[in-house]
Chains A and B, each alone.
Chain A
């Protein structure tokens, strides 16, 4: 009885913590909807901005999902799972990756200087450039998390069963495993799709400019204080939320359409020649794509490092006038302080968010009741700046008097949503039999979980911890506005110094952020490898 009460107390506290920010949002968010006669529709170019935003979202989600599916398929069918090949791009801060990519591949960029007669480089700012960068960034994200989701499926058994029934591995993959994998990836695809339409920093430096996409327009309005801009910002917030809803529907339709298409192939085996050709293409595409990712990530990382060290690097020079460590050395004290703040906040956030997510999943298991994912992931659907500004206008700061506590709560809240979408599918696919066995041996719930279920969830917990950590590390708006500058991090510094016209100092912070994220990924993969070795031995 006492145990039951304590479970319920924790549940109420946790749900209150998750719901309270929404209460503050309702306090501070205006209900100015973009109805047909709304002022927003009179804004010049709003139709183009809306259509372009939607196009970027649909295309980048579709292409990134297709690339990731082919890479995962090839690995699974060949039985050679990839390891750290795409990890470097996955861990790159979005802004840093885009800066380096544009500096390398645009007209007048480094490759243009090296091969002045080469054609086919991407434009400095355009719809196509933005889609390319998003696909390059999102595909590794989907591959890394896709591999983790795949590990939770008994796909090797399914492929073997298929082979036993006379169906080759490629066909079995697409007809049996792929639909299950795609279903497990649904929440992650939601996050990618919503991010693609709501992205601000990348859209500002790589997207179209006249008009900009909807999200940068919204941010621009929010930072102007005349009544018209404020009204436009309020209406655009709801429009962007609606766009997020459209993207979620798109992911569902995409999944439904693909699964329907594949079902049509059941019982209608294609010719051997076609299978061979498709397998060959898949293998070729996967290898080429992985090679491309390794190459681009190595080049962008090298470019970023070079940018942080190069002094006087102007068109059409291939190399800078001087190489100096000055930017690193002059800022060493600040870098140390910012790194400590970033790591401390990130780790604390990751611990809080991961523990909350695990606890909430176990409560659902124990009570055999599934809370709707939509409510738990709602934070992903609303533009972050709108949420934070709504909090500023509410009783948020009166309740959380400390700036540090305020930042920590906001980080944990945003990280929770991302962590949940990584952890929940893994947990759902994990058998509960060991946990039940433990309990039948007389262990309490959590002791049983620790000894029997946790080892099975090792990878899921590791990835959840990493994702929540990385989400915290990447936060700018809540850290600055709620923290009121009391808790500067590498990201707040990067965004602030990036607002100038140079890349040398931003490159220093971006390289550091990249390094931190890369180490986090490597640590997670290392613990996973150790666990696999332990299992095998």
Chain B
């Protein structure tokens, strides 16, 4: 009994100590925890925020940000949220926006939002208007990663057209693949490919119910029917996610992978986390480009501190640090200060936007119907 009492005492005192120090300036920041670079960056941000603003930033690492969305959706209307800050975009943002779970008017509440670049179309997230409920944190651009010698053999440099990709697959059967939809990067691959293949890509900006989806997407399915027999395991199996494909790439099983961070290749190579043989190319003439954002739950009782955190994340110091290649390497969303190192100006491929958000389900369901047996 003494043992139990002691244990309880230890746990309760730890809890109380945490709660005491947590009041009132602890910000619980839910963010994907799968990247060592991102985690290191957030650890740097923690020390900066503590020193500069007296805020304790707690990075709650999740395997999938949908776990945080699950928590938020389950919270009652009158309940104080367990989450103070979120790293989200796309479908997760749409779900929370539709449910009225996010704090509005962020641009007005965050002074550093005035620094955001004017040339970026961050006001829509996967075709959904942001409406001030999230602010961009970084730029994501869909690119393919290849083993450089493979491309050199075919005289390809920074762009691989869909015909080149098919030719590469035929020359190197079983060495290429893509993440399986509906995994996020798998669906993105379908969107990028659709943009290259459909006869009128602008139709993808309209809601699918306004067009003949079967007719629009037919070139995509015809192309995949041709490509699949030459992919890894004859296109009968696919890596479960982009991360899994990266492992297979580093492991030597595959010769290609995908990324959403335009600077990721040099950053990871500097950190000895990606094979030196890797190089990034765009699929087709332009790359699908979007943003990743920060948002605050409406029910957070610590929104003032969370706003300070966002303001810090959009500061020149934080954005420059984020863009450094020996760290995360995520491009800046604010105007780069003149003093910024040239390496921080990320070379982006020409971009094209995300299709309308409703195409996601259409593409995923049709892909599953055709290729999952």
Cβ–Cβ < 8 Å partners of A36 in chain B: none
Cβ–Cβ < 8 Å partners of A502 in chain B: 36, 246-247, 250, 273
CA distance A355 to B91 in the complex (A): 46
Judge if A351 is at the interface, Cβ distance under 8 Å: yes
Judge if A55 is at the interface, Cβ distance under 8 Å: no
On A, residues with C-beta under 8 Å from B are: 43-45, 48, 103, 106-109, 124-125, 204-205, 208-212, 220, 222-226, 228, 311-312, 314-316, 321-322, 327, 330, 340-341, 344-345, 347-348, 351, 355, 389, 392-393, 397-398, 402-404, 480-481, 484-486, 488, 492-493, 495-505
Q: Once A and B bind, how many residue pairs between them come within 8 Å at the CB atom?
A: 175
CA distance A505 to B39 in the complex (A): 11
Contact A322:B272 (CB < 8 A) given known A315-B251, A488-B61, A501-B242:
yes
Q: Are B250 and A315 in contact, CB atoms less than 8 angstroms apart?
A: yes
Judge if B372 is at the interface, Cβ distance under 8 Å: yes
Q: Are B253 and A124 in contact, CB atoms less than 8 angstroms apart?
A: yes
A-B contacts, 11 listed (Cβ < 8 Å):
A315-B275, A348-B8, A348-B11, A355-B4, A389-B74, A485-B30, A486-B18, A488-B60, A497-B39, A501-B246, A501-B250
Judge if B156 is at the interface, Cβ distance under 8 Å: no
Cβ–Cβ < 8 Å partners of A314 in chain B: 250, 252, 275-277
Determine which of B11, B67, B242, B371 lies in contact with A210 in the assembled complex, contact meaning CB atoms within 8 Å: B371
Q: Are B95 and A225 in contact, CB atoms less than 8 angstroms apart?
A: yes
Q: Are B238 and A209 in contact, CB atoms less than 8 angstroms apart?
A: yes
Interface residues on chain B, number (Cβ under 8 Å): 68
Q: Are A316 and B240 in contact, CB atoms less than 8 angstroms apart?
A: no
Judge if B167 is at the interface, Cβ distance under 8 Å: no
Cβ–Cβ < 8 Å partners of A204 in chain B: 240
Cβ–Cβ < 8 Å partners of A345 in chain B: 11
What string of 1s and 0s marks CB contacts (under 8 Å) between B297-330 and chain A?
Answer: 0000000000000000000000000000000000
Q: Are B66 and A500 in contact, CB atoms less than 8 angstroms apart?
A: no
Nearest-neighbor residue (CB-CB) of B83 within chain A: A484
Q: Are A499 and B243 in contact, CB atoms less than 8 angstroms apart?
A: yes
Choose among B14, B34, B91, B92 the residue with the greatest number of A CB atoms under 10 Å from its CB.
B34
On B, residues with C-beta under 8 Å from A are: 3-4, 7-8, 10-11, 14-15, 18, 28, 30, 32-36, 39-40, 58, 60-64, 66-67, 69-71, 73-74, 76, 79, 82-83, 91-92, 95, 180, 182, 236-240, 242-248, 250-253, 257, 272-273, 275-277, 361, 368-369, 371-373
7 extra interface residue pairs, beta carbon distance < 8 Å, beyond A340-B14, A484-B83: A45-B373, A316-B252, A404-B15, A481-B70, A502-B247, A502-B250, A504-B273
Q: Are A499 and B273 in contact, CB atoms less than 8 angstroms apart?
A: no
Cβ–Cβ < 8 Å partners of A481 in chain B: 67, 70-71
Q: Are A351 and B3 in contact, CB atoms less than 8 angstroms apart?
A: yes
Task: Report B254 CB to chain A, min CB distance, Å.
Answer: 9
Cβ–Cβ < 8 Å partners of A497 in chain B: 33-34, 36, 39, 61
Cβ–Cβ < 8 Å partners of B58 in chain A: 485
Q: Are A225 and B67 in contact, CB atoms less than 8 angstroms apart?
A: no
CA distance A214 to B208 in the complex (A): 30
Contact A485:B82 (CB < 8 A) given known A210-B238, A344-B10, A501-B244:
yes
